[in-house]
């Protein structure tokens, strides 16, 4: 098993999962009409998956932040490590239990779910918007851009650097997973989560939304019954979802 590949997959899955949290309560559902029929221009084609450049990424790097001795009181070292490979991401980390939160996120994605609490990031979000189409309320495609920065940051983290951290810190990730009662090891759970993300089919429509009380839902009962992971991929928008899935598909054969 190539642990350097696994760590990249971990980051991509986490990126999707974290974004899904922020969109989860806003998701609407509808008896959707194809975008072309609505006069909505197709989404821009996703940029190609970047080819890692380990030599450039490894240049001028400082020594790794050492793995904490245990999960308790490990947050300071987690913050230091994340600041090493993604300073902007570090600014969004929530204060406590970072490693446990990340492992919980991956575990939940493997089940097609997203945790409602214990978010590892506090990412600033633009306001969710809708459009009117006759007497219907539909999803505004402008919402898709809210994911751009987060996806870009996660998929731009130097692969070799993350791989080094994953290899050095893997015993603590396994321990956090075992605390959840998981069996088979964290790597196996991670691969299951990756498959969940990769198999989601695009919505390819601008869905109708309803708002029974506070949060939007899909008007179409079949869409509303989809898993949390499917819904969050749809809310990323076609371009961002494709970018994440293409990234994971490049990695999957290596696993």
CB-based contact 243:46 (threshold 8 Å): yes
| Mean pLDDT of the residues in the chain | 79
pLDDT band at 247 (very low <50, low <70, confident <90, very high): confident
Residue 6 has pLDDT above 70, yes or no: no
* Residue 82 confidence (pLDDT): 95
Sequence-ordered alpha helix ranges (H) in the chain: 3-24, 54-58, 75-85, 87-90, 98-110, 148-156, 159-179, 186-198, 221-224, 228-236, 238-251
* Tokens read off for 192: 């299951």
Spatial separation of the C-alpha atoms in residues 180 and 15, rounded to whole Å: 21
Higher-pLDDT residue of 62, 186: 186
Among residues 93, 92, 99, the alpha carbon closest in space to that of 74 is found at 99
pLDDT tens sequence across 85-129: 999 999 999 989 999 999 999 999 999 999 888 989 988 889 999
Single pTM value for the model: 0.76
Position 153 pLDDT exceeds 80: yes
Predicted confidence band of residue 159 (pLDDT cuts 50, 70, 90): confident
Say if residue 3's pLDDT is above 50.
no
Count of residues making up the chain: 255
In tens, the pLDDT along 29-83 reads 333 333 333 333 444 444 454 544 444 444 455 789 999 999 999 999 999 999 9
Question: Per-residue pLDDT averaged across 192-211, rounded?
Answer: 94
Rank 17-21, 97-101, 183-187, 205-209 by mean pLDDT and report only the highest.
Answer: 97-101
Overall average pLDDT of the 183-195 stretch: 91
Report the C-alpha gap between 240 and 248 in whole angstroms.
13
Structure confidence at residue 61 (pLDDT): 54
Residue 211 in contact with residue 224, Cβ under 8 Å? no
Structure tokens at 83: 């600041």
Question: Cα(96)–Cα(249) distance, rounded to whole angstroms?
Answer: 32
Closest Cα to residue 168, out of 85, 106, 96?
85
Predicted pLDDT at 48:
52
Q: So what's the pLDDT on residue 36?
A: 37
Pairing of strands 136-139, 208-210: antiparallel
**Distance from CA of residue 236 to its chain's centroid?**
9
Look-up of token digits 């902007």 = 88
Q: What is the mean pLDDT of residues 19-38?
A: 42
pLDDT at 145: 95
180: Cβ–Cβ under 8 A, 6 or more apart, which residues?
A: 103, 104, 107
Return the domain boundaries, the chain.
Answer: 3-26+65-129+144-205+227-254
**Amino acid 56: pLDDT:** 43
d(CA 82, CA 88): 9
């Amino acid at each position: 098993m190539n642990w350097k590949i696994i760590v990249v997959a971990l980051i991509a899955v986490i990126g999707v999962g974290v974004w899904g949290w922020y969109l989860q309560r806003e998701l609407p559902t509808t008896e959707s009409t194809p975008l072309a029929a609505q006069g909505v221009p197709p989404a821009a084609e996703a940029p190609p998956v970047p080819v890692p450049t380990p030599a450039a990424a490894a240049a001028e790097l400082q020594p790794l932040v050492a793995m904490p001795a245990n999960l308790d009181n490990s947050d300071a070292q987690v913050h230091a490590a994340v600041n090493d490979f993604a300073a902007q991401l570090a600014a969004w980390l929530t204060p406590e239990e970072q490693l446990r939160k990340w492992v919980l996120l991956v575990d939940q994605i493997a089940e097609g779910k997203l945790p409602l609490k214990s978010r590892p990031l506090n990412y600033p979000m633009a306001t969710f918007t809708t459009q009117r189409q006759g007497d219907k309320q539909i999803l505004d495609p402008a919402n898709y851009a809210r994911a751009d920065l987060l996806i870009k940051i996660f998929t731009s983290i130097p692969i070799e650097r993350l791989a080094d951290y994953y290899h050095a810190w893997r015993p603590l990730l396994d321990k956090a997973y075992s605390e959840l009662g998981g069996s088979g090891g964290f790597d196996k759970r991670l691969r299951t989560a990756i498959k969940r993300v990769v198999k989601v089919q695009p919505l390819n429509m601008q869905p109708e939304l309803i708002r029974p009380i506070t949060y939007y839902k899909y008007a179409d009962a079949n869409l509303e019954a989809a898993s949390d992971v499917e819904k969050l991929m749809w809310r990323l928008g076609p371009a961002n979802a494709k970018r994440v899935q293409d990234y994971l598909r490049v990695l999957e054969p290596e696993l």
